[in-house]
Amino acid sequence: MADSSSSLPSLFEKISYKRYFLRAVDLTMLGLLFSLLLYRILHMSQNDNVWVVAFLCESFFTFIWLLITCIKWTPAEHKPYPDRLDERVHELPSVDMFVTTADPVREPPILVVNTVLSLLAVNYPANKLACYVSDDGCSLFTYFSLKEASNFAKIWVPFCKKYNVRVRAPFRYFLNSLDAKEDSEFSRDWEMTKREYEKLSGKVEDATRDWDADDDFEAFSNTKPNDHSTIVKVVWENKGGVGDEKEVPHFVYVSREKRPNYLHHYKAGAMNFLVRVSGLMTNAPYMLNVDCDMYANEADVVRQAMCIFMEGSMNPNHCAFVQFPQKFYDSNSDEIVVLQSYVGRGFAGIQGPVYAGSGCFLTRRVMYGLSVDDLEEDRNLSSLLAAERLERDFGKSKEMVKSVVDALQRKSNPQDTLINSSEAAQAVGHCHYEYQTSWGKTVGWLYDSTTEDAHTSIGIHSRGWTSSYISPEPPAFLRCMPPGGPEAMLQQRRWATGLLEILFTKQNPLNGSSCKKIRFRQSLAYLYIFTWGLRSIPELFYCLLPAYCVLHGSALFPKGVCIGIVVTLVGMHCLYTLWEFTSLGFSVHSWYASQSFWRIKTTGSWLFSIPDIILKLLGVSNTIFIVTKKTISKTRLESGDRPSQKEDDGSNPDSNKFEFDGSLYFLPGTFILLVNLTAIAGFSMCLQRSSRSYGGSGSSMIDACGCILVVILFLPFLIGLFEKGKYGIPLSTLSKAAFLAVLFVVFSVRN
């Protein structure tokens, strides 16, 4: 419990940023956008249909900028003071830590192992922690790796706490050589720990043995990733722990039952199983959720989150979760970091940040469907604790119902021995357990979207809860990013599809009946991210309009002095976004690469989210959750164990190259490039024949400049025309795009 004495310093402070100048810039750009729309309306009759298309596209862009302005109006974040926690809190609460993995090929077990080891070694009493790993692939190799990791943890955890190691993922910590020159105790322990980790890595990466000879692996015999029974294994139990620095927290492996004819709801289903299993075993009031590639980079991360939950000056009942920004230790991540820094803080200044699916501490009571109204109308929660309602909402397991009651009444009541709960834990993992219950509807992680994080987030805010945003330095968590190419496009498609799915559920922010507890600006903020997929259509058309106008001989942009509106808008947007990148320490090249990839993913992967949703609504097919491939970067750490944000380009000349394959994601970009190159070539040939403007329009030079700008934004595709292998555009994609480009040119010229 926290000491509520007002004389003691606060455990955190809320920092609200004053951005009067940036507000003026946002409003100026908004005014310019409305001026452009007004000009098009007044001169619509004097121009052909291309102005109608341009007006519709620019109307959508104006709407998006209006949403962005509303989001970024009052940015904020919370700054915790974990050093004050021991003074204010008599007993720290328990925390259950969840790690999810689903495919040992796309998510290497050594990556999972390092994430788990970093969590087991955080600066928090070991008897207050429990780590649960959900393996949706039911992989024997993953379980073997985790079992070996539990043995190494008995060396790694004491080493980290003895020497206060900051980077607690061994694969990152041991990238640098030992600095100590003398034969000290630390250097001997360092060498010994590194040797043990290398042995662990060797075992994990070369896991070939006679598995049938070990009874512990019998549960994995004759199992398939989509067809197996529930498996619950207590890998390590911290029996009689008192929080000593040499202790290792509880460590449990779980894999829920899967059958071919049952819906499993992907990651959301796995998370709900983790909530039930942990509720039966340790029932901690708070839960940490991280993906298998996201390791704890800050040893005090749990204590930082507890500062928010334990502070008495802010009503702890109303803070549902604490979200840390997702930051990365490899390349291709600059855009996401910048987006979180400005848009994430914008959310935090309204009702709180969006739950990002990883790096988040959540309150168990909230995940059990508790709303702010429940607390205000019935502090004893007597209406929620009725036996019939609990069984209807949470299932027929008596042990599960009892753990829910304890959690709602703030009683952790963990089991004396985890093994005793194994049978009950297996029962709540059956495929049919959630049938006719509230799991995935109002309880736990919500279903019906491949972006279960955003869907669950709006569900929590809809019940009146708030959330907190902490962005510490050094970053609390670090993870890897898929390479810029097929894997990144696949991930973007899943995000865009999942966000669009939410618009067709009852959690739609425009639905006032189900979202009445969400603040108006928070609804607009959710609308901004949910409509990512819809942006692909106006972006695609706007990338083609300059080329069409050059080929057709019509004008896209205003004439005379009014062209200044467009020039000013483009210039201000470039300078604004450039400032956002450079103010966070990123280079001009990073800014350009992010602007380029934004156009590529919007017109490519996001575009395919629309047919995905249409086919789902028509009942033709369902959306599919495809696990993103994850890789281990070999980037060395900077001095002071500070993670670098970029790969060393000198060591890998191909690190910044864009990768291609034969998927349809790269067809729109190639088509856009070829069309604009054709328009530029046609305009140049016309200039050579005649000194008059091409097409007889005074604005055609500006239209040609628009084509050049599009080519610059799609420069990776231009380079891909001359590269070979995975860095070159496949001939099949190029031939399809060329055929479409010919049709477009013929249509533009003859129309």
- Residue list for the binding site for UDP-alpha-D-glucose: 107, 136
By CB atoms closer than 10 A (0-12, 13-18, 19+), residue 687 is middle
Answer for the pair 609, 537: CB distance below 8 angstroms, yes or no: no
Annotated binding site for Mn(2+): which residue ranges? 267, 291
Answer for the pair 144, 208: CB distance below 8 angstroms, yes or no: no
d(CA 443, CA 408) in angstroms, rounded, equals 13
453 noted as active-site residue: yes
Q: Among 26, 334, 393, 453, which one carries the catalytic annotation? A: 453
Q: Among 136, 300, 334, 374, which one carries the catalytic annotation? A: 136
Give CA separation, 640 vs 166, 647, 682, in Å. Answer: 9, 17, 56
Distance of CA 16 to the CA centre of its chain: 24
The DSSP bridge pattern shows strands 327-328 and 477-479 to be: parallel
d(CA 1, CA 4) in angstroms, rounded, equals 9
For the four alpha carbons of 393, 394, 397 and 399, in that order, the dihedral sign comes to negative
Annotated binding site: which residue ranges? 107, 136, 267, 291
Phi first, then psi, for residue 443 (nearest 5°) are: -115, 135
Answer for the pair 475, 337: CB distance below 8 angstroms, yes or no: no
By CB atoms closer than 10 A (0-12, 13-18, 19+), residue 31 is exposed
The DSSP bridge pattern shows strands 250-255 and 286-291 to be: unpaired
Answer for the pair 103, 627: CB distance below 8 angstroms, yes or no: yes
Distance of CA 746 to the CA centre of its chain: 42
Local structure of residue 411 (DSSP, 8 states): -
Residue 134, strand partner residues: 100, 254
Distance of CA 504 to the CA centre of its chain: 21
Residue type, 228: H
d(CA 177, CA 96) in angstroms, rounded, equals 34
Give CA separation, 591 vs 343, 596, 647, 693, in Å. Answer: 17, 9, 16, 34
Indicate the angle between helix axes 50-71 and 536-552, nearest 10 degrees.
140
612 noted as active-site residue: no
Residues whose CB falls within 8 Å of the CB of residue 96, separated by 6 or more in sequence, listed in order: 129, 130, 132, 278, 282, 284, 286, 287, 288, 364
Q: Please, how many CA atoms are within 13 Å of residue 137, restricted to the half-sphere of its CB?
A: 19
d(CA 128, CA 184) in angstroms, rounded, equals 33
What tokens does 251 get? Answer: 């460590």
Which residues participate in catalysis according to the annotation? 136, 453
